[in-house]
Amino acid sequence: MKIPNINCIIQMTTTLNPSEDSEKVQKSISNIFPYSTIKIEHLSITAQSRELRSFEKIYETIHLKKSQNTYRRYLEKNLDNDTTWFYLNKQAAFVEQIAICEEAEESPLGPIKVILTSSNIDKILDWIILGN
């Protein structure tokens, strides 16, 4: 896999429920996005990366499971100018599995919202989905 050199910002955010251990939620994010900076706030956890290699695990899963059409649908549906987003299941991320959610309610403790922003968003989507 060749990762293109494209400037981007990848943001991850999730709620921190009273019943959750903040370290476990932090681990859920770092399992999927290892090159990110994570901040724990009162009721949420946010993370950010400016490196497209943070998408490596998602890229590998998409191509291994041949789920390009699913991701294309979500990424294009949520595309607005130079930003797109999708939800990941937080519990699945904790066990290093990538499971996309169509609706936030599909993740019982709330999803991880992944927001991808770039002035070259089309090139990034081509790379994620087509491998170009």
Domain membership of residue 4 (yes or no) is no
Please check whether residue 77 lies inside any domain of the structure.
Answer: yes
What is the CATH number for 117?
A: 3.30.1440.10
In a domain? residue 1: no
Q: In a 3-state reduction of DSSP, which class is residue 69?
A: helix
User: Considering the domain boundaries, does residue 2 fall inside one?
Assistant: no
pLDDT of residue 132 exceeding 80: no
Residue-range definition of the domain harbouring residue 93: 9-130
Q: 26 phi and psi, to 5 degrees?
A: -60, -40
Letter for the amino acid at 112?
I
Global pTM reads: 0.93
Q: For residue 125, is it within any domain?
A: yes
Q: What is residue 95's predicted lDDT score, i.e. its pLDDT?
A: 95
> What are the backbone angles phi and psi of residue 8, rounded to the nearest 5°?
-160, 165
The full length of the chain comes to 132
Backbone angles phi, psi at 16, to 5 degrees: -110, 105
- As a whole number, mean pLDDT of residues 121-131 equals 90
For residue 62, name the pLDDT band (cuts at 50, 70, 90). Answer: confident
Domains in the chain, number: 1
Q: What pLDDT does 72 receive?
A: 87
